[in-house]
Structure 1
């Protein structure tokens, strides 16, 4: 399965923007132009810090699950524009996103417990 060049270029630009942000660059635009969704995510991460990046990730996970459930219901009702392949792929994307969110939550709880058990 091949991806269009635009999608690969967009993904590369988003990775470069994240690398620049991780390196301490105050201007995300230094890494090159980022697509609209990437700019919104990068802007949210730099403007509000960790909390807004976490909220944006949770909102994306929720949106993916809502989209997958909507497509599943449309397929069950016999909509001609929804194929089983699309339903299964979207359900798997939603599942992977949920599992990722669950693992992040587990790491956060573990880190919180470690910090709380530290002696001052």
Structure 2
């Protein structure tokens, strides 16, 4: 399977939204009152959070391996498991997004 450029995918989805002529409030409604967001922004922030968790877990694991006095095994293991769960969730969301995109692209017009 070839890799899909997520930015290109999001641009195509935005173009489809514009072409469908749905009201902006139906698709781009604010997620939180006074704080409008779009799927691309939410997805980008989520991926950044996953990356930050991965880096934090790696730093905690490295400090534990070095034997730093402040390194705690329980805290390190919890951070590693949180990072693992976040990564698995991000991969599942990406897989669902690709499946949805493929389903839409295979629809007859």
- Classify 1:79/1:58 alpha carbon distance in 2 versus 1 (closer, same or farther; 3 Å): same
Q: 1:13-61: CA deviations, max 9, x gaps?
A: xxxxxxxxxxx568626xxxxxxxxxxxxx4xx24x1101000000000
| Cα RMSD after superposing both structures | 1.7
State how 1:20-31 maps to structure 2 within 5 Å. Answer: 28=33
Q: Please give the residue correspondences for 1:1-120 in structure 2 after superposition, counting only pairs within 5 Å.
A: 28=33, 43=35, 46-47=36-37, 49-120=38-109
Measure, in 2, the Cα distance between the counterparts of 1:77 and 1:27.
43
Deviations 1:72-115 (A, max 9, x none): 00000011111100110000000000010010001000000000
In structure 2, do the counterparts of structure 1 residues 74 and 110 end up closer, same or farther at CA, with 3 Å as the change threshold? same
Larger CA Rg, structure 1 vs 2: 2
Number of residues of Structure 1 aligned to a counterpart in Structure 2 = 81
Q: Secondary structure at the match of 1:28?
A: coil
CA, structure 1 residues 27+86, in 2 after alignment: closer, same or farther (shift >3 Å)? closer
Q: Any unmatched runs of 5+ in structure 1?
A: 1-23, 30-42
Q: 1:112 to 1:65 in 2, by over 3 A?
A: same
